[in-house]
């Protein structure tokens, strides 16, 4: 399992940012921006929506940081903001009628980001292709999951939150988190098997 | 009584977040039920596959611009600015005696106190009066012109009538009179012109004689000067001559005894 690097300086930065230190605040944004963006991106599979949520989250963080009482709960606090904006965005998108050409445009943006992201990494074309293909399939598999399961899986698998932290973020019991995780993983497993995705078909390195 | 792990326990087991004792129980259960272990291993494989989706790179991380320390002042600044501007406008208005008023007579704005203007009716009256004045003046002018035209016409008619009434010899007399009058005038003019010519000629002669006189005097003076020069020249030549004579006599005197001796 992939370990998310701990951020020991975060507590100190939060304390400084709470006192209104703009450098600390900017540093905090820099540290967490990528995480929140990736969290939202995996949730929506859409760059524009992920950017929207990320920006709103950090604006809200800047506004409300002073009201954060316990600095050690910053992580769950930040993810809770992001999760709330994700729900809001879903509601908003349901209400909104999207022009077809707008969708095309956002797809282009996605491709652009994917391309820049892959070229930035190692230049093994085989691995790149496998990566892109697997990523597309994983995107589709995650999209199939019910929203609450999807969010829990993303927080656990990609953001490395503890079960207790996820419970805190989503204001649900730890048992609910565990059960959602279990069902989500079961569904994903079934879905991937249906697409014939396994260790053998996808050549990855561990 | 055998232990069977719940789905929640399995999930926690999968993520390594199960407490020590429950984990031991689950491990025990897996030993007894290898199919359950296989099931969980499948999930583990799914997790490995999922972990292949790496993080997206963020295109641009924005920075926050913090408001300044004295944000209170920044907040109030615009209101202070508006108040200052209003104060400035009011002061300027007061200094320049700018006056704005609105009543039943309408909206008025101006520097210094604006006097009450004329009402619509008053303005209309003034205009009507002025129009009447102009019209009456034009009428009187036209009447005057009519009268003078009539006068001229009647006078001309009278004259024509007079002429037509006169007999032929009288007309001739009249013409002769006119002729004589013109001739007399022409005579007078010619006399006057003759007198003028005479005067001009006299002045010409006088000026010529004057000129001639001065020229003559000038010539005489020149002649006199020439004579004087001649006189001077003669005198000087005479002196030279006398001196030469004297020198000659001296030489002769000197030679004379010698000649005597020789003889």
Q: Residues A24-47: pLDDT tens digits? A: 888 888 889 999 999 999 999 888
Q: Measured between CB atoms, which of A134, A153, A186 is closest to B52?
A: A134
pLDDT of residue A1: 42
Q: What residue spans define the domains of chain B?
A: 7-50, 71-117, 118-165
In whole angstroms, what is the distance from residue B53 CA to residue B48 CA? 10
Residue A50 has pLDDT above 80, yes or no: yes
Residue B256 DSSP class: H
Which carries the bigger pLDDT value, residue A129 or residue B221? Answer: B221
Q: With bands split at pLDDT 50, 70 and 90, how would you rate the model's confidence at A137?
A: confident
Q: Is the pLDDT of residue A14 over 70?
A: yes
Determine the pLDDT at residue A24.
86
Q: Which ipTM score applies to this complex?
A: 0.76
Q: Cα dihedral sign for A52, A54, A60, A63?
A: negative
User: Which residues are CB-contacts of A148 (< 8 A; sequence separation ≥ 6)?
Assistant: A170, A180
SS3 B4: coil
Q: Which residues 95-114 of chain A have a CB within 8 Å of chain B?
A: 113-114
Residue from A43, A185, A197, A199 to probe the interface with B (highest B Cβ count within 10 Å): A185
User: Over the stretch B154-194, which tens digit does the pLDDT of each residue have?
Assistant: 999 888 887 777 778 888 888 899 999 999 999 999 888 88
Please report, for residues A17, A102, B4, the alpha-carbon distance to residue B23 in angstroms, rounded to integers and kept in the order given: 41, 51, 12
Is residue A3 very low, low, confident or very high in pLDDT (cuts 50, 70, 90)?
very low
What is the per-residue DSSP string for A116-157?
HHHHHS---HHHHHHHHHHHHHHHHHHHHS-HHHHHHHIIII
**CB distance B56–A38 less than 8 Å?**
yes
- Residue B70: pLDDT band with limits 50, 70, 90: low
Q: Which one is predicted more confidently, B173 or A202?
A: B173
pLDDT the model gives residue B74: 72
Assigned token pair, B151: 């006068």
Higher pLDDT, B68 or B45: B45
What phi and psi values does residue B100 have, to the nearest 5 degrees?
Answer: -125, 135
Tokens coding B121 = 């009716």
Please report where in the chains the tokens 């004295």 appear, as a residue. B70
CB proximity under 8 Å: B 7-26 to A: 7-12, 14-15, 17
Chain A residues close to B70, C-beta within 8 Å: none
pLDDT digits (tens, 9 = 90+) for B82-122: 999 999 998 988 888 877 777 776 777 777 766 666 778 88
pLDDT, averaged across chain A: 81
Please indicate whether residue A46 or residue B71 has the higher confidence score (pLDDT).
A46
Q: Do B43 and A185 touch (CB under 8 A)?
A: yes
- The torsion region of residue B98 among left (phi > 0), alpha (psi -120 to 50) and beta comes to beta
A158 contacts B53? CB cut-off 8 A: yes
Yes or no: say if A37 and A52 are a contact pair by the CB < 8 Å rule: no
Q: A28: closest CA among A73, A85, A74, A72? A: A74
Token duo for residue A49: 């929506």
* Chain B residues inside the 8 Å CB shell of A192: 46, 49
- The residue assigned the tokens 């007198």 is B195
Query: Which domains, ranges and CATH numbers included, belong to chain A?
Result: 1-97 (1.10.1740.10), 124-206 (1.10.10.10)
pLDDT in tens, B17-59: 999 999 999 999 999 999 999 999 999 999 988 888 888 888 7
Handedness of CA A105, A106, A111, A116 (dihedral sign): positive
**Which one has a higher pLDDT value, B2 or B93?**
B93
Identify all chain A residues contacting B42, using CB atoms and an 8 Å cutoff. 189
What is the phi/psi pair of residue B31, to 5°?
-65, -40
In the stretch 36-65 of chain A, residues with CB closer than 8 A to chain B read 37-38, 41-42, 55, 58, 62
Q: Shortest CB distance from A163 goes to which of B12, B53, B66?
A: B12
Q: What pLDDT shows up at residue A18?
A: 86
In this prediction, residue A197 carries a pLDDT of: 83
Give the confidence band of A108 by pLDDT, cuts at 50, 70, 90: low
Query: Which residues, 6 or more positions from B79, have their beta carbon under 8 angstroms from its beta carbon?
Result: none
Maximum CA extent, chain B: 218
The pLDDT of residue A2: 44
Amino acid A112: pLDDT: 56
Minimal CA–CA distance to A196: which of A154, A144, A137?
Answer: A137
Predicted confidence band at B229 (pLDDT cuts at 50, 70, 90)? very high
Residue B12 has pLDDT above 60, yes or no: yes
Q: Do A43 and A154 touch, CB atoms closer than 8 A? A: yes
d(CA B60, CA A96): 27
**Predicted pLDDT of residue A109:** 56
Return the closest-CA partner of residue A46 out of A130, A142, A122: A142
The span from the CA of B173 to the CA of B36, in Å, is 168
Contact (CB, 8 A) for A68 and A18: yes
pLDDT category of residue A113 using cuts at 50, 70 and 90: low
pLDDT of residue B71: 65
Q: Is B167 on the interface with A (CB under 8 A)?
A: no
Q: How confident is the model at residue A205 (pLDDT cuts 50, 70, 90)?
A: very low
């Amino acid at each position: 399992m992939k370990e998310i690097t701990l951020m020991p300086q975060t507590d100190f930065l939060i304390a400084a940012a709470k006192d209104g230190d703009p450098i600390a605040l900017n540093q905090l944004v820099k540290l967490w921006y990528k995480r929140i963006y990736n969290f939202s991106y995996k949730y929506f599979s859409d760059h524009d929506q992920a950017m929207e949520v990320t920006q709103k989250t950090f604006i809200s963080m800047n506004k409300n940081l002073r009201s954060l009482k316990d600095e050690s709960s910053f992580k769950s606090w930040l993810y809770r903001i992001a999760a709330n904006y994700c729900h809001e965005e879903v509601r908003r998108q349901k209400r909104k009628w999207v022009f077809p050409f707008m969708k095309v445009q956002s797809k282009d943006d996605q491709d652009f980001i994917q391309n820049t992201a892959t070229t930035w990494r190692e230049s093994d074309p085989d691995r790149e292709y496998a990566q892109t293909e697997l990523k597309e399939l994983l995107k589709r598999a995650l999209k199939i999951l019910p929203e609450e399961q999807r969010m829990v899986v993303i927080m656990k698998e990609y953001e490395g939150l503890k079960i207790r932290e996820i419970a805190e973020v989503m204001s649900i019991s730890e048992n609910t988190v565990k059960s959602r995780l279990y069902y989500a993983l079961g569904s994903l497993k079934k879905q991937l098997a249906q697409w014939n995705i396994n260790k053998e078909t996808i050549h990855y390195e561990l | 009584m055998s232990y069977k792990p719940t789905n929640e326990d399995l999930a926690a087991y999968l993520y390594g977040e199960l407490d020590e004792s429950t984990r031991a129980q689950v491990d025990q259960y897996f030993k007894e039920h290898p199919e359950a272990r296989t099931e969980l291993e499948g999930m583990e494989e799914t997790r490995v596959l999922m972990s292949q989706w790496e993080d997206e790179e963020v295109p641009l991380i924005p920075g926050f611009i913090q408001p300044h320390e004295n944000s209170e002042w920044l907040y109030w600044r615009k209101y202070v600015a508006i108040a200052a501007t209003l104060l400035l406008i009011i002061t300027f208005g007061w200094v320049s005696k700018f006056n704005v008023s609105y009543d039943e007579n309408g909206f008025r704005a101006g520097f210094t106190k604006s006097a009450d203007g004329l009402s619509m009716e008053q303005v209309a009256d003034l205009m009507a009066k002025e129009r009447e004045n102009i019209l009456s003046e034009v009428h009187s002018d036209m009447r005057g012109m009519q009268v003078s035209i009539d006068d001229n016409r009647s006078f001309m008619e009278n004259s024509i009538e007079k002429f037509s009434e006169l007999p032929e010899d009288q007309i001739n007399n009249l013409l002769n009179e006119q002729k004589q009058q013109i001739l007399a005038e022409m005579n007078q003019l010619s006399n006057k012109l003759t007198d003028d010519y005479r005067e001009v000629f006299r002045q010409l002669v006088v000026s010529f004689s004057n000129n001639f006189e001065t020229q003559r005097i000038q010539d005489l003076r020149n002649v006199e000067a020439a004579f004087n020069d001649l006189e001077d020249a003669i005198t000087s030549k005479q002196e030279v001559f006398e001196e030469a004579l004297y020198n000659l006599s001296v030489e002769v005197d000197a030679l004379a005894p010698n000649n005597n001796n020789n003889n």
